[in-house]
Amino acid sequence: MYRLRLPIVDVARVAVFAALIAALGLVPGLNLFGPVPITLQTLGVMLAGAILGSWRAALAVGVFILLVAAGLPLLAGFRGGLGVFTGPSVGFLLGWLPGAALIGWIVERGGRSPGIGRLLVASLAGGLGVVYLVGIPLWALVGGLTLGQAALLTLGFVPGDVAKAVLTAFVARGTQRAYPDAVPAVHRERLRAGKEL
């Protein structure tokens, strides 16, 4: 009766990844590049894409965003509530939805063993490209800035985001080697085999 049924094993995976994204925002930030601590929350978002595949990753991010909107302080720095959605970073948060989906889409096309190059391209395209594509125009709109000005003000985040995209690729590769079922294509095959049994 419901066409978009998610198998219960995937409900669990989506819930755990949404929770992992939240938990990575609660872990104290690491000071890698000087005084501004970088948080690993976006790492969680990009990993959801690489491991869950496109639409399950978007669902995990959507659940996370819904809980933030409901007033749980799950965003890095213990932020949450509706204030986030009228603030300057709203687009960078909403951009995670299509961003994680694109990462998943690219990784899904890598078959049973997506290579490090594909994972890297996926993380950069989804985690930076798509997120900035949504984030910068909304920041410009909220702040009454031109697109160029908003983009310029975003430049400071680029080094940290590139570092996290690279880290995502290596972590995804490491995880998928240790746990083959973490590859979207392998997981799909296993689910299909389970149904036929």
Partner 1 sequence: MSGATGLAGIYVPGSSPLHRLPVGVKLLGLAVCCTVLVLLRSPWAMGAAALVTAGLYALSGVGAAAAWAQIRPVRWFAVALFAVQWVMAGLPTAAMLTSRLVLAVALAALVTLTTRTSAMLATLERGLRPARRLGVDPFRLSLLLSLTIRTVPVMAGLAVRVREAQRARGVEWSLRAFAVPLVVSALRHADALGEALSARGLDD
Among 22, 61, 94, 128, binds partner 1 (CB under 8 A): 22
Distances (CA, A) of 2 to 7, 54, 56, 137, 142: 12, 20, 17, 36, 38
159 binds partner 1 (CB under 8 A): no
Among 13, 57, 132, 184, binds partner 1 (CB under 8 A): 13
Amino acid letter, residue 132: Y
85 binds partner 1 (CB under 8 A): yes
| Closest distance to partner 1 from the beta carbon of 142 (Å) | 6
47 binds partner 1 (CB under 8 A): yes
Asked if 60 and 99 touch (Cβ cutoff 8 Å), the reply is no
How far is the C-alpha of 68 from the C-alpha of 83, rounded, in Å? Answer: 10
How far is the C-alpha of 132 from the C-alpha of 96, rounded, in Å? Answer: 10
| Closest distance to partner 1 from the beta carbon of 106 (Å) | 18
- From the centroid of its chain, how far is CA 186? 20
Asked if 54 and 101 touch (Cβ cutoff 8 Å), the reply is yes
Number of chain positions touching partner 1 (CB under 8 A): 67
Site for partner 1, residues 107 to 146, rule: CB under 8 A: 142-145
93 binds partner 1 (CB under 8 A): no
153 binds partner 1 (CB under 8 A): yes
Among 43, 57, 107, 131, binds partner 1 (CB under 8 A): 43
User: Which pair of tokens denotes residue 54?
Assistant: 């496109």
